[in-house]
Chains A and B, each alone.
Chain A
Amino acid sequence: MKIIYQNESGGVSVIHPTGELSIEQVAAKDVPEGVAYEIVEDDAIPSDRTFRNAWVMGDCCVEHDLDKCKALGHDMRLAKRAEEFAPHDEVIMKQIPGADATAAEEARQQIRDKYAQVQEQIDAAATPDEIKAALSI
Chain B
Amino acid sequence: MSTLSTTNLKNASSASNNIVLNSDGTVGGSALATTSDMAGITTTGTNTAGSATLTVGSATGISAGMFIVGEGIAPGTTVSTIVGTTVTMSQASAASPNLGLSGTEPVTFYANNKLVSPGVVGAMLCRAWVNFNGTSTVAIRASYNVSSITDNGTGDYTVNFTTAMPDANYCAVATGALDNTTGGRSSVASINSYSTGSVKLFTTRSSTAAFEDDLFCNLSIFR
Contact = CB atoms under 8 A, between A and B. Distances in A.
Given A11-B152, A11-B153, A20 B146 contact: yes
B162 interface: yes
A102 interface: no
A52 B154 contact: yes
Contact of A20 (B147, B150, B152, B197): B147
Interface string A77-93: 00100000000000000
B143 interface: yes
A42 B153 contact: no
Nearest to A50: B154
Interface string A7-39: 101010111111011000110011000000000
Interface in B97-133: 130, 132
B11 interface: no
Given A47-B136, A49-B136, A30 B153 contact: no
Q: How large is the interface on B (under 10, 10 to 19, 20 to 34, 35 or more residues)?
A: 20 to 34
Nearest to A20: B162
Contact of B152 (A7, A18, A47): A7
B135 A15 contact: no
B21 interface: no
A45 interface: yes
Given A16-B140, A20-B162, A49 B149 contact: no
Contacts of A16: 132, 138-140, 148-151
Contact of B150 (A9, A14, A21): A14
Contacts of A30: 147-148, 150, 158, 160, 198
A42 B137 contact: yes
B86 interface: no
A53 interface: yes
Contacts of B132: 16
Contact of B213 (A11, A18, A26, A52): A52
Interface of A is mostly: mixed
A29 B136 CA distance: 26
Interface string A33-63: 0000000001001011100110000000000
B180 to A, nearest CB: 17
Max chain A C-beta neighbours (<10 A), residue from B130, B135, B160: B160
B148 A53 contact: no
Interface string B74-88: 000000000000000
26 contacts: A3-B148, A7-B152, A13-B150, A13-B151, A13-B158, A14-B138, A14-B151, A15-B150, A16-B132, A16-B151, A18-B148, A18-B149, A20-B143, A21-B162, A26-B147, A26-B160, A29-B160, A30-B148, A30-B158, A42-B137, A49-B213, A52-B154, A52-B213, A53-B153, A53-B154, A79-B208
Interface of B: 130, 132, 135-140, 143, 145-154, 158, 160, 162, 197-198, 208, 210, 213
Interface of A: 3, 7, 9, 11, 13-18, 20-21, 25-26, 29-30, 42, 45, 47-49, 52-53, 79
Given A7-B152, A79-B210, 5 more contacts: A13-B152, A13-B158, A47-B136, A49-B154, A79-B208
